[in-house]
Structure 1
């Protein structure tokens, strides 16, 4: 039976995935890349905001043709002896061409709102970058959890297969004792039923294995039909590392958690919105200049660049002295939004401290539970050894051995669950602290 299960797994030609692979690929999955692209888009918003401070240069060129039909007009002329009279003047039709080239330059000298918008776009960029880091950590933790879910199922199948082997050995012993006339046929049949139930437990786990494989590979942006196997990270063969102190965890979270960076930059952007609104009380100053070369005669236009030219320039001061209290209302609204951002930051800081404490307590609890589970497993293994010795001596039944066997299997599964939960809790604490990627500044 074990060979059949192993052959079914190998037939799928699974792709081995290490814990580090899962972490790296999770940081580059669809959700994480989307957040990075949003940060790149925010960089372009900064460029757009900066463009208003740079010279604005425009070029225009045009050609036109005006047709004027036959016209009659009157001209008032003096006549001999005094007085005036109107003389009709007839003009024939005419086609008048026109060609023009022009360059305009404008430069903003002072506008507080433009500078504030540039600062605000910078704060929003930093907030978006923080969101990208936050999403990257979220994606990485999800990848870690899915990796351990697959590894848990694989390890569970191995524990159940070990139980099958114990049941096979128990059936062989029962058959041998029955043939020796030391136990009845019921003991052999009972051992055979137990073996069948254990094999069923292994087979039914294969469905969960496929589910965990799909959840992991799709999260890592791999083809959904691709089979995968979680490479043993070695955590089951070594004692878990101790948890950091709560004070250190809180200190790391305050300085490294990307979420706080996001909220601080959002608060700064809200404060700069107040500056933008108050800019309505201040004047704006700008320079402008225009050059134009135009004329109705193409020959003169193209051969005499010293003619048909005009240059103009000026400085403009504009000041909204009264706009119906619009500036006052916009300033008040910006102040309210700034206060909202400040309250959100304060609340998030409190919630972050609570999340760190909760994650720290979860890790401590799992460490204690794992220690107890290890002691239970050792006791269950000793109990099974004793039950088998009694059965071989003919002083106990298959039922006693089966009970000890199930208790050992359950204690092994409990130890497995708690040991993996320790690692998941450890990474969850690192996520709350913002230290999943310690080599990168937050």
Structure 2
């Protein structure tokens, strides 16, 4: 359950713990971590065991045609053996180990480590995008919450105006038209307030989806905004090429492509391996017509060195090496393109941020001006020196100035976060 106020830090914590996209990215890191483990490197030997047992029961009849027993002079009788059991047992243990494979597994192992690094960068990009999405919705809730306060206050003023108009009409100081105009303005203000409240409810549901929380969870958000000092922002901009996650992913892809070339080149070299086995066989043979039964046990120990050299594989290795070099060239080309795009995006983001900050400053001053104008108009309206239409216009101008200031404030903050993401610092700041 949430506390009454959902702070920014609490929102980040819940997002990192529960967001579905981040959970998937975290699992992908675990998969890459398993892949780069020594158990998946090819450096360990393979050990195989086999065992078997065989049973046979047979009945045999051996006849001696024309043979005579020399002792009795009678024909020699047949020898019949029933249920003669033959049993065979075997077990073996085999060991295979690759001593040298042209350095293929060495570079593949390093490639898997770099793949793990790339997966971490991809997860970081997912987290950055999710955090940016989180605060886009969070600050929209803050903006709507502040707007509701503004609209609620103006609705109270409009209702007071209806009461005042009714009193003035009862005492003959006003016309029915002024009362009706005041009632229309109350209806419009009520509709605007209701629509804004519904937008707030919907936006809170959007945030609950990001937090993987119950959709109807109720909370308030923090409306205090702090901007990054210019000096610190300049430092981030100077190191943007070192920290931008897109550039870092491109560098990682280049290293992976370099390892691919080396892995494929290992096909030019021979493979040297060790093999060894230990086996046991036992045969239990039943007696026959001419031989007694016997038990034979055999123990075998075998070891050897193998060398395999594929002198020509039809050109497959040559083709793979050529294609991997082209893939590396493509990554280098992509790097140049990404550098230009990131520089453009940072320049645009910086320009947007500076522009929105300036707009926010102007809107702050505009609110002060419209508050003074509204206060004077309200006083003059009470004294009957201006019409209800003029008063309503001053009220509308104030509402517009206040809501525009809120919009400018949160727009500037979102622009700052977008700039921080491009500089690679979004996850390193205090919100």
* TM-score band w.r.t. shorter chain: 0.7 to 0.9
Post-superposition CA distance 1:268-307 (Å, at most 9, x none): 1111111111111111111111111112039xxxxxxx96
Tell me the CA shift for residue 173 of structure 1: 3.6
- The 3-state SS of whatever aligns with 2:43 is coil
CA contact 1:183–1:394 (8 Å) conserved in 2: no
Post-superposition CA distance 1:163-187 (Å, at most 9, x none): 1122123334434444554443332
The answer to whether residue 352 in structure 2 is matched with residue 362 in structure 1 is yes
- Mapping 1:19-418, distance limit 5 Å: 19-28=8-17, 29-47=19-37, 50-66=40-56, 95-111=85-101, 112-179=103-170, 181-224=172-215, 226-235=216-225, 240=227, 242-243=229-230, 248-297=235-284, 308-418=298-408
CA contact 2:41–2:109 (8 Å) conserved in 1: no
User: What residue number does 1:433 align with?
Assistant: 423
**Uncovered stretches (5+) of structure 1, i.e. residues with no partner:** 1-12, 73-89, 299-305
**CA 1:71/1:323 → structure 2, altered by over 3 Å: closer, same or farther?**
farther
**CA 1:180/1:217 → structure 2, altered by over 3 Å: closer, same or farther?**
same
CA contact 1:156–1:413 (8 Å) conserved in 2: yes
CA contact 1:49–1:118 (8 Å) conserved in 2: no
| Structure-1 separation of matches of 2:26 and 2:228 | 33
The answer to whether residue 411 in structure 2 is matched with residue 421 in structure 1 is yes
| Structure-2 separation of matches of 1:114 and 1:91 | 63
TM-score between both structures, scaled by the size of structure 2: 0.85
- The 3-state SS of whatever aligns with 2:366 is helix
- The 3-state SS of whatever aligns with 1:27 is helix
- The 3-state SS of whatever aligns with 2:384 is coil
User: What residue number does 1:303 align with?
Assistant: none
Tell me the CA shift for residue 399 of structure 1: 0.8
| Structure-2 separation of matches of 1:181 and 1:58 | 107
**Uncovered stretches (5+) of structure 2, i.e. residues with no partner:** 63-78, 286-295
Tell me the CA shift for residue 46 of structure 1: 1.8
Post-superposition CA distance 1:238-257 (Å, at most 9, x none): 7x555457753433322223
| Structure-2 separation of matches of 1:249 and 1:261 | 16
CA contact 1:17–1:228 (8 Å) conserved in 2: no
Post-superposition CA distance 1:332-370 (Å, at most 9, x none): 011111111222222222222222222211111111001
The answer to whether residue 6 in structure 2 is matched with residue 17 in structure 1 is yes
- The 3-state SS of whatever aligns with 1:437 is helix
CA contact 2:51–2:91 (8 Å) conserved in 1: yes
Give the number of equivalent residue pairs: 402
CA contact 2:141–2:221 (8 Å) conserved in 1: no
| Structure-1 separation of matches of 2:254 and 2:343 | 19
User: What residue number does 2:69 align with?
Assistant: none
- The 3-state SS of whatever aligns with 1:221 is coil
- The 3-state SS of whatever aligns with 2:305 is strand
Higher mean Cα deviation, 376-385 or 365-374? 376-385
Tell me the CA shift for residue 131 of structure 1: 0.6
| Structure-1 separation of matches of 2:188 and 2:169 | 21
Post-superposition CA distance 1:349-407 (Å, at most 9, x none): 22222222222111111110011101111111111122122222222111111110100
**CA 1:334/1:70 → structure 2, altered by over 3 Å: closer, same or farther?**
farther
CA contact 1:177–1:183 (8 Å) conserved in 2: yes
User: What residue number does 2:67 align with?
Assistant: none
- The 3-state SS of whatever aligns with 2:393 is helix
| Structure-1 separation of matches of 2:429 and 2:61 | 84
Tell me the CA shift for residue 14 of structure 1: 9.2
- The 3-state SS of whatever aligns with 2:426 is coil
CA contact 2:280–2:300 (8 Å) conserved in 1: yes
- The 3-state SS of whatever aligns with 2:428 is coil
| Structure-2 separation of matches of 1:142 and 1:106 | 52
**CA 1:106/1:343 → structure 2, altered by over 3 Å: closer, same or farther?**
same
Root-mean-square deviation (CA, aligned residues, Å) is 2.8
